[in-house]
């Protein structure tokens, strides 16, 4: 029997990966499955929370018991988040939101130019929903971001996470090492929870359900 330590808490969780259309049949997307966010929703429900879930192209079903809103693009995710966020005690932005979208979405299917070996796409930046949430949040609301990092030359995943929470200004950041065969889409996860100063609060590896429980302990 798990503790009912989130009774009465209203939690908004986003999960999955947004898709940006190029034309009526193609999109730019990412490999987020939504499994970690769905696990968070399951455990939050179990612990007594009232959970609203915004899902983008989930590969697993959201738990029954959440209020579910499905979206596709980053713009739709932004609309849904901004509409639902006001009454929430906690917002967890676990979704992998596309950083860019196509500048022009073709009305008709793009045709290949048979004389060229290249196709050039122009992408424009999407608004950062997390940053917008933080800037305009109700006073007592707690906002948690996620960061999926692969590391980069000269910078550890931890350093990247610390820079990210400083830039985004959220209360907590769940740092997730991802790679070709790690993090996205898998059954297990390895995460580090950082506080707003970039200090490590907890480190946990295990099933996505076990990771979800440990992450939710942050709020308890
Ligand atoms: O900058 P990056 O995409 O790595 O940041 C990840 C965090 O920011 C996640 O919590 C994600 O949900 C959020 N995000 C967002 N809007 C974007 C891009 C990311 O809210 N356009």
Give pLDDT tens digits for 119-173: 999 999 999 999 999 999 999 999 999 999 988 999 999 999 999 999 999 999 9
Res 179: pLDDT: 79
The predicted complex's ipTM stands at 0.97
Residue 1 has pLDDT above 60, yes or no: no
* pTM higher than 0.80: yes
Residue 111 has pLDDT above 80, yes or no: yes
Closest CA to 90 of 57, 126, 47, 128: 47
Res 181: pLDDT: 78
| Largest pairwise CA distance in the chain | 65
Residue 97 confidence class, pLDDT cut points 50, 70, 90 = very high
Ligand 1 centroid distance, CA of 116 (Å): 35
Residue 83's H or E segment, with its range, is helix 74-84
Ligand 1 centroid distance, CA of 146 (Å): 7
Which residues have a catalytic role annotated? Answer: 30
Q: Which atom of ligand 1 is nearest to the CA of 145?
A: 10
């Amino acid at each position: 029997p798990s503790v009912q330590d989130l009774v009465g808490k209203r939690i908004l969780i986003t999960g999955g990966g947004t898709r940006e259309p190029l034309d009526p049949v193609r999109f730019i997307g990412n490999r987020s499955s939504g499994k970690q966010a769905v696990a968070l929703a399951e455990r939050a429900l179990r612990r007594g929370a009232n959970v609203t879930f915004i899902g983008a192209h989930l590969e697993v079903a959201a738990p029954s018991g959440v209020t579910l809103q499905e979206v596709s693009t980053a713009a739709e995710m932004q609309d849904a988040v901004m509409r639902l966020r006001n009454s929430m005690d906690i917002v967890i932005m676990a979704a992998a939101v596309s950083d860019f979208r196509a500048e022009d979405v073709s009305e008709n299917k793009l045709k290949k130019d048979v004389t060229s070996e290249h196709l050039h796409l122009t992408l424009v930046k999407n608004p950062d929903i997390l940053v917008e949430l933080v800037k305009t949040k109700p006073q007592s609301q707690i906002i948690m971001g996620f960061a999926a990092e692969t590391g980069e030359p000269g910078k550890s995943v931890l350093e990247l996470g610390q820079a990210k929470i400083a830039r985004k200004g959220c209360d907590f950041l769940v740092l997730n090492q991802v790679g070709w065969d790690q993090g996205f889409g898998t059954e297990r996860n390895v995460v580090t929870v950082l506080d707003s100063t970039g200090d490590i609060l907890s480190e946990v590896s295990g099933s996505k359900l076990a990771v979800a429980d440990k992450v939710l302990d942050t709020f308890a």
